[in-house]
Structure 1
Amino acid sequence: MSTAPRAGTAPLSRSNPWKIAGASMIGTSVEWYDFGIYATAAALVFPELFFPEMNRALGTLMSFTTLFVGSLGRPLGAIVFGHIGDRFGRKRALIWSMTLMGGATVCVGLLPGYASIGVAAPILLVLIRMIQSLAVGGEWGGAVLFAVEHAPPKRKAFFGSFPQVGDGVGYFLSTGVFALMALIGHRALVDWGWRVPFLLSAVLVLVGLVIRSSMEESPEFEAARLAEEAEEKQAAPFIAVVRDAWKTWLLASGAFLITVAGYYIVVTFMSTYAVSDLGFTDSQAAGAGTAASVVVIICTPLAALCADRYGLRKVTLTGILLHVLVAFPMFWLVDTHSVAGLWLAMCLPMLASTIAYASIGTLVSGWFAPRVRYTGLSMSFQTAGLVGTLAPAAVTWLYSDFGNSWTPVALTFVAMALVSAVCLIACNPGRAAGSSDGSAGGIAAGIVTERGDGAETRAAGEAVGM
């Protein structure tokens, strides 16, 4: 299906890509701030606060399980907000996802603990977490897509990496706030200090909503909408992805796996292992996470520039395979019982993740046609996210079941990286068009992000209305 604007339609404007990238970045900053404080609290505070009648190991396992159970809403959020974004506009979906996400995070900060309301406390925690995850399901994919569709042809990866920079910013803020709050002492942190990071989310959400309200709609969405108005009614985006691009969806989900699941293992399991087994303080663990977030903020745009220069697939695959190389060294480093070793143990895997994560969103967005791109990208990322949030609980169980040995954890880390590498290699972007007939628009959309030179990009831009 050609999605170029029809003759006689109004020309499509393109907003300043820096403004759009900034708006996309602040949205994912809020998202990963919210998830960062939840993951950190799940490792350091929630076992004692919501599962006090269990021993520390079981309480930690249950706390990590809420990460997974509460994330069951992510795929549904990808479908709901993907439908809104593909049918009614990227901007509308992004504003609503941020509002719902921030509201849920504030509610966690107001939630009474087990000592106050008993078993209702963990139940409410999971329910609020599911609402939060529903909103997150449509956030990251839309933010990446919005930045990519507004970006200049030769800088797709660079501007598409700003939401990933936002991940680092959100992680930096979340671990930084927790590191500061941990200075008041563990008892005060459990009693009231843990609530402060959650309540501060309201400030970030308000700033994000003001910025997003001033954004213009994506030019590629407008082009696809104008073309679709003149044709017969299309299937719902979710139906179109499942029916026509299900192989692409599954392979893209697998490609995302290590960047999502690996992040959760580093942020949650490594923090718990450092504090509970090696004797590091809460503040030291949070400080190491803050250092890792600085790596993300600095290295993400650099990795994206390399992807624009040398190719998205090549740079993304390099980052994925680096996870294999750091899987064992990160544990060797933390086992030195030194603060420097702890910092390196957090920073090395985060560097590998950053190299892959900087460009994978831009790469995968080109695997789906514009009319289903929001839905396809979001479903792929959130399917991986659903598995990823199970990772901390799974590796915690493996660690305990194998006699408190981290070897199976490292092997799981390696296995996930290899799965991602195989899926990335197996997906042929020339045929990942979002439709089974290999239409010109879809094929061009797949080609547009494969190379950084101008010829293919310009051809694709003409096909998708850029």
Structure 2
Amino acid sequence: MTHTGTGAVSAAANQRRVAFATIIGTTIEWYDFFIYATGAALVFAELFFKPAGANIATLLSFATVGISFLFRPLGAFLAGHFGDVIGRRAMLVITLILMGASTTLIGVLPTFSQAGMAAPVLLLLLRILQGVSAGGEWGGAVLMAVEHAPAKRRGLAGAFPQLGVPLGMLLASGVMAIMTGLVSPGKAFLEWGWRVPFLLSVVLIVVGYFVRRSVEESPVFAEIAERGRQTKVPILVLFRKHWHLVILAALVFVGNNAVGYMTTGGFIQGYATSKLKMDATAVLLAATVASAMWFVSTLVAGILADKIGRKATYLIGFAFQALMVFPLFWFVNLGNLGGLYAGLVLLSIGLGLTYGPQAAWYAEIFPASVRFSGVSISYAIGAILGGAFAPTIAQALLQATGSTAAVSAYLLVATLVSIGAVLCLRDRRGIPLGPDHEAEQATGATVFGPNRSAEPVAAEA
């Protein structure tokens, strides 16, 4: 009996280490990713694209935010392949180092006035490397969390790496707000103040590296490797047998990503500072508070996903999100901080509810042998379709119509697309994730085929 108790304590301690490692790692990854978007909203148009003219420079600045998404599938393909062949943990460390190095180098780039066309080209190349890293990191983080967790707590466990996104946004907005507050918003900030948040990534890399190296490999992959069951070319198997799941899972992500990138992509920050003439520091602080609400609602969603199911939690979240896309700009267009806070905080509730269940549901959709490839590629494609050019599209709609109503309509359409995809998938809460259950994992994920996993299996709990 004592041995059993010790084993339970050890398992619980290991799960806490995994949760801590995934949340720290993803926070660092997304801090790096979002600090770029904040820079694009505040300074990159002026420093790297100014010769194109004010309006075109702003569009080009936001376009570089989106172009990196086109390279997420490359990161997802590479990390998915090697994650299914050599393991989850190794890919987590590699993607973390790649992201951190790219971010740090952005902090030392020359501007257009110093290097001419070489400056925006180098900026774009480093942003592409960020995209490759982001495309590969997410799948490894969520599988480490979900595959280590008991079946009854996968929703909450999967929410921990998801929490890294709002935490990364909170950290990025907070650090940039400190810099705009401490440094003159004029010449000094444009010369060196904006670089500091990028250079801080060096410290974060070191912390994240040691945290992630301390975590054991996923037990599911360890079992696959022990039996020599790795799929040689998992991506080919994925697209030959499960292409429809990749499409549906990607579409599930579209609505959350399009709406989320109104803040994480910097559109609202840029709109509030340039169009509404609000103070940059105050706007960044509002984004920071909204990120805190996003964090809370993501955590709540992970708990709800275990209580009422992944699908039900998603539908509640998307319904709330759909109701908020027009009030978002009604509040923001009041032109005061109260309206900005209200719009962003209310929007963040729906964002969290449609992000918290994602890790567990994605992991339960795909068979163990191609799971890393499946979740990574679905996430990357969904990010392209939803968030890649959301800030650019929003800016173009605003310039073409002169109204934010068109932007809200665009966000509503994206949300409705995701609701349709959610309705096409089954909730697979509790299905075994190990390699001995590949046949069960490979069938019954959509409402269009036989339901082979109607009764949740609690064997892994």
Q: Same fold (TM over 0.5)?
A: yes
> Who is 2:96 aligned against?
98
Task: Find the aligned partners of 1:297 and 1:64 in 2 and give their Cα distance.
Answer: 25
Could you tell me which amino acid in structure 2 is paired with residue 439 of structure 1? A
> Who is 1:322 aligned against?
320
Task: Find the aligned partners of 1:355 and 1:287 in 2 and give their Cα distance.
Answer: 22
> Who is 1:289 aligned against?
287
> Who is 1:401 aligned against?
400
1:244 correspondence with 2:226: no
> Who is 1:211 aligned against?
211
Q: 2:309–2:427: 8 Å Cα contact kept in structure 1?
A: no
1:171 correspondence with 2:169: yes
Q: 1:254–1:420: 8 Å Cα contact kept in structure 2?
A: yes
Task: Find the aligned partners of 2:418 and 2:444 in 1 and give their Cα distance.
Answer: 24
- In angstroms, what is the RMSD of aligned CA positions? 2.4
2:108 is aligned, of 95, 107, 110, to: 110
Task: After TM superposition, give the deviation of residue 160 of structure 1 in Å.
Answer: 0.8
Relative distance call for 1:149 and 1:445 in structure 2 (3 A) is farther
Q: What percentage of aligned pairs have identical amino acids?
A: 37
2:351 is aligned, of 323, 328, 353, to: 353
Task: Find the aligned partners of 1:185 and 1:58 in 2 and give their Cα distance.
Answer: 26
Q: Look up the SS of the partner of 1:161 in the other structure.
A: helix
Task: After TM superposition, give the deviation of residue 54 of structure 1 in Å.
Answer: 3.0
> How do residues 442-453 of structure 1 correspond to structure 2 at under 5 angstroms?
442-443=442-443
1:57 correspondence with 2:55: yes
Q: 2:299–2:356: 8 Å Cα contact kept in structure 1?
A: yes
Task: Find the aligned partners of 1:422 and 1:441 in 2 and give their Cα distance.
Answer: 22
1:35 is aligned, of 22, 33, 36, to: 33
Task: Find the aligned partners of 1:429 and 1:123 in 2 and give their Cα distance.
Answer: 45
> Who is 2:23 aligned against?
25
Task: Find the aligned partners of 1:322 and 1:102 in 2 and give their Cα distance.
Answer: 35
> Who is 2:192 aligned against?
192
Q: 2:68–2:388: 8 Å Cα contact kept in structure 1?
A: no
Could you tell me which amino acid in structure 1 is paired with residue 395 of structure 2? T
Task: Find the aligned partners of 1:80 and 1:306 in 2 and give their Cα distance.
Answer: 33
Task: Find the aligned partners of 2:243 and 2:312 in 1 and give their Cα distance.
Answer: 24
1:79 correspondence with 2:72: no
Q: Look up the SS of the partner of 1:16 in the other structure.
A: helix
1:366 correspondence with 2:357: no
Q: 2:296–2:352: 8 Å Cα contact kept in structure 1?
A: no
> Who is 2:409 aligned against?
411
Could you tell me which amino acid in structure 1 is paired with residue 252 of structure 2? A
> How do residues 251-330 of structure 1 correspond to structure 2 at under 5 angstroms?
251-267=248-264, 268-330=266-328
Task: Find the aligned partners of 1:321 and 1:64 in 2 and give their Cα distance.
Answer: 28
Task: After TM superposition, give the deviation of residue 190 of structure 1 in Å.
Answer: 1.3
Stretches of structure 2 lacking an aligned partner (at least 5 in a row): 1-9, 448-454
Q: 2:174–2:284: 8 Å Cα contact kept in structure 1?
A: yes
Q: If the length of structure 1 is used for normalisation, what is the TM-score? A: 0.89
Task: Find the aligned partners of 1:445 and 1:206 in 2 and give their Cα distance.
Answer: 40
Q: 1:433–1:443: 8 Å Cα contact kept in structure 2?
A: no
Task: Find the aligned partners of 2:329 and 2:240 in 1 and give their Cα distance.
Answer: 43
Could you tell me which amino acid in structure 2 is paired with residue 205 of structure 1? I
The farther-off stretch of 196-205 and 49-58 is: 49-58
1:37-66 CA-partner distances (Å, limit 9, x unpaired): 111111111010101123332211100111
Count residues with an aligned counterpart: 437
Stretches of structure 1 lacking an aligned partner (at least 5 in a row): 1-12, 448-454
Q: If the length of structure 2 is used for normalisation, what is the TM-score? A: 0.90
Relative distance call for 1:429 and 1:349 in structure 2 (3 A) is same
Task: Find the aligned partners of 1:383 and 1:409 in 2 and give their Cα distance.
Answer: 22
